[in-house]
Amino acid sequence: MQKYSIFSLARNALSGHKNWTRAWKSPPLRDRYEVIIIGAGGHGLATAYYLAKEHGITDVAVLDRGWLGGGNIARNTVTIRSNYLRDESIPFYVKSVSLFEGLTKELNFNMMHSKRTMIDVVHNYPKMRELRRRQLTMDIYNSTYDNISTEEVRRRVPALTGGGPGSRLPVIGGMVHTDAGVNRHDAVAWGYARAADSHGVEMHEQTPVLSLIRGSDGAISGVQTSRGVVHAKKVVVAVSGHTTTLTETAGLRLPLRTMNLTAFVSEPVKPLVDVIVNCPDLGFYFSQSDKGEMVIGGAPDSGQSFRRDIKQHVFEDTVGAMLELFPSFKKLKLLRQWGGHLDITHDASPIMDETDVPGLFVTAGWWGGYKAIPAGGLTLAHHVATGRPHPLMEKFTVKRFKNLDFIMETGTTTAR
Amino acid sequence: MLLINCPFCGERNETEYVYGGPVSADRPDPTAVNDDEWIDYLTMVPNPVGPTHERWWHAKGCGDWFTLWRDTATHDIVKGPKK
Ligand SMILES: Cc1cc2nc3c(=O)[nH]c(=O)nc-3n(C[C@H](O)[C@H](O)[C@H](O)COP(=O)(O)OP(=O)(O)OC[C@H]3O[C@@H](n4cnc5c(N)ncnc54)[C@H](O)[C@@H]3O)c2cc1C
Ligand SMILES: [Zn+2]
């Protein structure tokens, strides 16, 4: 792998940037691999990378129907945090946050990681109690969560001038999660792809998988793609919102539904807010990007959806709520808006498991799954390579639904 | 925004309605079905790219509950399959 550094930058500048090697190759598609990973999003690429790096399994093809890193990893608001509710979830996300913090070094790719704290702005006592309860559980696993007063919230977020005592929705306090941060999503996709490629993993873009193929013994035997059949004894489905579309071709039903989640972004302005602001009671959150844009996320559409756009009234509701607290944002021009289709499980926790179809692995239910990419890839690769679940993800099984052993999560903003 | 046809009030904006979840089978008697059927009832929802059957509540109108078919790929309200 060509090393990126100040020296390689200088050297390549002198030769007019004509001699950079490709970040990943595109070899011809073979008809057999040890492992096929469907979906070159964050989870698929991270799984490929850790399979090669941690387990020496390099006969791997990652297939994507579009371009690498063009799915939800390109559509999300990059909030990385570990303030979850359950004992099963928190250690997993703590691990993921710490892997993210070391990822620039690990992959020799600048992730532009910015550890910048998330502040929840709270408006009602039941929510405050729920977050205080999270705090007690998070303390056990060394994740950070602290209660602060309204005055302290305002001191840290000076742009928060609404929500006073006379308003319809007075702020009653806040929570601070200092572990939270943001980084650059393209770098995560490209960094994992480049590093996996250097170990011999193949990336195949524009290669949609049309169906899964099972052998006469019922186990997975390969996939039908638009470019022909490709065989493998192990297949990983990492396609985000389209999981059930694919698994149903193998006769496998999963407790997932697909919904549309939206975001939008303003014109760049001078530095104004240096933390991630999350308003669970109003249903929006935002952070300011390095370029100065406000990156704003809102609530999902009601009902299932594969449409990947934003409904005008969902957009207006989010903006209306935001202006209650940040009246000065009235002057911001909004530049772009978009949506992404994500699947969510019956209990809102992910599924990472080998399914009832032997050899068929699924990583799904990633509602807020950007933050989970490094730990998701690391632990799923362990399961695929060794046949045993990694301790950090062993509870996220498919079987839990059969045992009615739910891991009820609730998002801090959107999966309410 | 969807324009949803309430059986009582006629066409009204989506913002007058509350989404009530997918239409599922009636609750079976847990002692009369096997475990798989019971788990299915509790946790499974059809997730098609295409028409899906769902409940809506005309909360800011007449208060009626009714069902409709909506295409998850286009959001168009469509005719359901013929029985
Ligand atoms: C608006 C929005 C905001 C979000 N904000 C956050 C956030 O702040 N923090 C957070 O943690 N998470 C967030 N998320 C969630 C996060 O984006 C997803 O959970 C995560 O990206 C999903 O995992 P992935 O990267 O592997 O998925 P994707 O990037 O979607 O990868 C799946 C890939 O599979 C490919 N694919 C699909 N079907 C096929 C097929 N049949 N054959 C071949 N390839 C196929 C797709 O082309 C795609 O590239 C947000 C999502 C949205 C939409
Ligand atoms: Zn009505």
Q: For A376-394, how does the pLDDT look when each residue is reduced to its tens digit (9 = 90+)?
A: 999 999 999 999 999 999 9
Mean pLDDT confidence for A146-161: 98
Confidence check: pLDDT of B55 > 60:
yes
Nearest atom of ligand 1 to the alpha carbon of A241: 30
pLDDT in the model for residue A15: 95
To the nearest whole number, what is the mean pLDDT of chain A? 96
Whether residues A38 and A101 fall in one domain:
yes
Q: Which of A344, A371, A402 is the last residue of a domain?
A: A344
Mean pLDDT confidence for A327-341: 95
Whether residues A148 and A262 fall in one domain:
yes
A24 occurs within a structural domain: no
Is the C-beta atom of A246 inside 6 A of ligand 1?
yes
Mean pLDDT confidence for B20-27: 92
How far from chain centre, in Å, is Cα A94? Answer: 14
A99 occurs within a structural domain: yes
* pLDDT (tens digit per residue) in A57-75: 999 999 999 999 999 999 9
* pLDDT (tens digit per residue) in A285-321: 999 999 999 999 988 888 999 998 888 898 999 999 9
Q: Backbone phi, then psi, for A260, in 5-degree steps?
A: -100, 125
pLDDT cut 70: percent of chain A above it:
99
Domain that holds residue B42: 3-82
Instruction: Give A264's strand partners.
Output: A296, A337
Whether residues A139 and A36 fall in one domain:
no
A353 occurs within a structural domain: yes
A1 occurs within a structural domain: no
CATH number, domain with residue A411: 3.50.50.60
Cα A224 to Cα A17: distance, rounded to the nearest angstrom: 39
Report how many domains make up chain B. 1
* Chain A CB within 8 Å of residue B73 CB: yes
pLDDT in the model for residue A169: 85
Cα A8 to Cα A24: distance, rounded to the nearest angstrom: 17
- Asked if A365 contacts A350 with a C-beta cutoff of 8 angstroms, the reply is yes
Is the C-beta atom of A289 inside 6 A of ligand 1?
no
Assign B82 a pLDDT band (cuts: 50, 70, 90): confident
Whether residues A74 and A50 fall in one domain:
yes
- Asked if B18 contacts B57 with a C-beta cutoff of 8 angstroms, the reply is yes
pLDDT cut 90: percent of chain A above it:
94
pLDDT in the model for residue A198: 98
* pLDDT (tens digit per residue) in A200-254: 999 999 999 999 999 999 999 999 999 999 999 999 999 999 999 999 999 999 9
* Chain B CB within 8 Å of residue A306 CB: yes
Mean pLDDT confidence for A123-128: 94
Report how many domains make up chain A. 2
Whether residues A340 and A265 fall in one domain:
yes
Looking at residue A204, the DSSP 8-state letter turns out to be E
Comparing A37 with A414, which gets the higher pLDDT?
A37
| Residue B68 C-alpha, separation from nearest chain A C-alpha, in angstroms | 12
pLDDT in the model for residue B24: 86
Of the candidates A302, A304, A312, the beta carbon closest to that of B47 is on: A304
Q: What angle do CA A270, A274, A275 make, to 5 degrees?
A: 145
Q: Backbone phi, then psi, for B42, in 5-degree steps?
A: -75, -40
Q: How far are the Cα atoms of A16, A43, A131, A185, A203 from residue A109, in angstroms, in the given order?
A: 21, 18, 35, 12, 18
Dihedral angle sign, alpha carbons of residues A18, A20, A21, A22: negative
Beta carbons of B72 and A258 less than 8 Å apart? yes
Beta carbons of A304 and B72 less than 8 Å apart? yes
Whether residues A167 and A68 fall in one domain:
no
A194 occurs within a structural domain: yes
Q: Which of A317, A344, A371 is the last residue of a domain?
A: A344
Of the candidates A244, A313, A401, the beta carbon closest to that of B47 is on: A244
Mean pLDDT confidence for A22-43: 97
Cα A405 to Cα A261: distance, rounded to the nearest angstrom: 27
**A132 alpha carbon – ligand 1 mean position (Å):** 30
Of the candidates B13, B42, B45, the beta carbon closest to that of A257 is on: B45
Whether residues A104 and A188 fall in one domain:
yes
Is the C-beta atom of A411 inside 6 A of ligand 1?
no
Whether residues A39 and A101 fall in one domain:
yes
A17 occurs within a structural domain: no
pLDDT in the model for residue A263: 95
pLDDT in the model for residue A416: 41
* Chain A CB within 8 Å of residue B74 CB: yes
pLDDT in the model for residue B25: 86
**B63 alpha carbon – ligand 2 mean position (Å):** 6
Assign A415 a pLDDT band (cuts: 50, 70, 90): very low
Domain that holds residue A201: 6-12+31-82+85-108+184-255+347-415
CATH number, domain with residue A317: 3.30.9.10
Ligand nearest to the CA of B10: 2
Cα A201 to Cα A47: distance, rounded to the nearest angstrom: 11
Q: Which of A322, A344, A366 is the last residue of a domain?
A: A344
**A37 alpha carbon – ligand 1 mean position (Å):** 14
pTM of the model: 0.97
Whether residues A193 and A47 fall in one domain:
yes
Q: Which residue of chain B comes nearest to A307, CA vs CA?
A: B73
Whether residues A51 and A166 fall in one domain:
no
Instruction: Give A364's strand partners.
Output: A351
**B71 alpha carbon – ligand 1 mean position (Å):** 22
To the nearest whole number, what is the mean pLDDT of chain B? 95
Whether residues A395 and A353 fall in one domain:
yes
Is the C-beta atom of A40 inside 6 A of ligand 1?
yes
Beta carbons of B22 and A257 less than 8 Å apart? yes
CATH number, domain with residue B14: 3.30.2270.10
pLDDT in the model for residue A194: 98
A330 occurs within a structural domain: yes
Of the candidates A258, A307, A313, the beta carbon closest to that of B47 is on: A258
Whether residues A194 and A231 fall in one domain:
yes
Assign A412 a pLDDT band (cuts: 50, 70, 90): low
